[in-house]
Amino acid sequence: MSRITSRALAVTAAIAAAALTLTACSGSGSGSGGQVDTTKLVIGLESDQAALGYDPLRYSAGQRMFFEGMYDSLFKIDQSGKVVPDLATNSSYSADKTQLTLTLDTRAAFSDGSTLTADLVKKNLDARTNPNLSAYSSFAAGGQNEIKDVKVVDDKTVTLTFATPQPAFESNLVFPGGVVVGEKGVTDRSSLDKAPDGSGPLQLDASKTVKGNSYLLVKKKNDPAAKAYPFNSYEFKPILDPQARVNAALSGEVDTADITAETQDQVKSSGVGLVANGGTVVDLLPFDKNGTLAPQWGDPRVWKALSIAIDRNAYVKAVHKGDLPTANALPKDNPGYLPSLEKDYAYDPTAAKKLLADAGYPNGFSFDFTITSASQRDLEAIQPYWKAIGVTVNLKNAASTEQAFAAVKTEPVGGPIPLTWTNPAANVFGVLFGFANAHNASNDQIKGAFGAYGAAGGDTAKQAAALKDLNKAMVESGWLIPLFEQLSPWAYSTSKLKKPTFPGADSFPILASLTPAS
What is the full per-residue pLDDT of the chain (518 aa) written as tens digits?
Answer: 433 333 333 333 332 333 323 223 333 343 445 689 999 999 999 999 999 999 999 998 889 999 999 999 999 999 888 889 999 999 999 999 899 999 999 999 999 999 999 999 999 999 999 999 999 988 988 877 899 999 999 999 999 999 988 877 898 999 999 999 999 999 999 999 999 999 999 999 999 999 999 999 999 998 999 999 999 999 999 999 999 999 999 999 999 999 988 888 899 999 899 998 888 899 999 999 999 999 999 999 999 999 999 999 999 999 988 889 999 999 998 999 999 999 999 999 999 999 999 999 999 999 999 999 889 999 999 999 999 999 999 999 988 877 888 899 999 999 999 898 877 887 888 789 888 999 999 999 999 999 999 888 778 899 999 999 999 999 999 999 999 998 889 999 999 999 999 987 788 999 999 999 98
Domain with 394 in it = 279-487
258: in domain: no
User: Do 28 and 119 belong to one domain?
Assistant: yes
If 0-12 CB within 10 Å is exposed, 13-18 middle and 19+ buried, where does residue 366 land?
exposed
User: Do 196 and 79 belong to one domain?
Assistant: yes
Cβ atoms 256, 497 nearer than 8 A: yes
60: in domain: yes
User: Do 16 and 164 belong to one domain?
Assistant: yes
What 3-state class would DSSP assign to 399? coil
CATH code: domain of residue 452 = 3.10.105.10
Q: What span, in angstroms and rounded, lies between the C-alpha atoms of 103 and 74?
A: 10
251: in domain: no
DSSP string, 211-261: TTTBEEEEEPTT-GGGGGSSSSEEEEEE--SHHHHHHHHHHTSSSEEE--G
Give me the residues paired with residue 161 across strands: 99, 149
The pTM of the full predicted model, rounded to 2 decimals, is 0.66
255: in domain: no
Q: What span, in angstroms and rounded, lies between the C-alpha atoms of 325 and 327?
A: 7
User: Do 216 and 160 belong to one domain?
Assistant: yes
256: in domain: no
User: Do 31 and 134 belong to one domain?
Assistant: yes
Q: What's the gap between Cα 456 and its chain centre? A: 24
Q: What span, in angstroms and rounded, lies between the C-alpha atoms of 222 and 208?
A: 21
Dihedral sign for Cα atoms in the order 234, 238, 241, 242: positive
User: Do 230 and 321 belong to one domain?
Assistant: no
CATH code: domain of residue 81 = 3.40.190.10
Residue closest to 228 by CA, chosen among 488, 502, 490, 1: 1
Number of separate domains in the chain: 2
If 0-12 CB within 10 Å is exposed, 13-18 middle and 19+ buried, where does residue 342 land?
middle
Close Cβ partners of 197 (under 8 Å, ≥ 6 residues apart) = 54, 110, 111, 112, 181, 182, 183, 184, 185, 186, 191
CB count, 10 Å around CB of 498? 17
Q: How many residues does the chain have?
A: 518
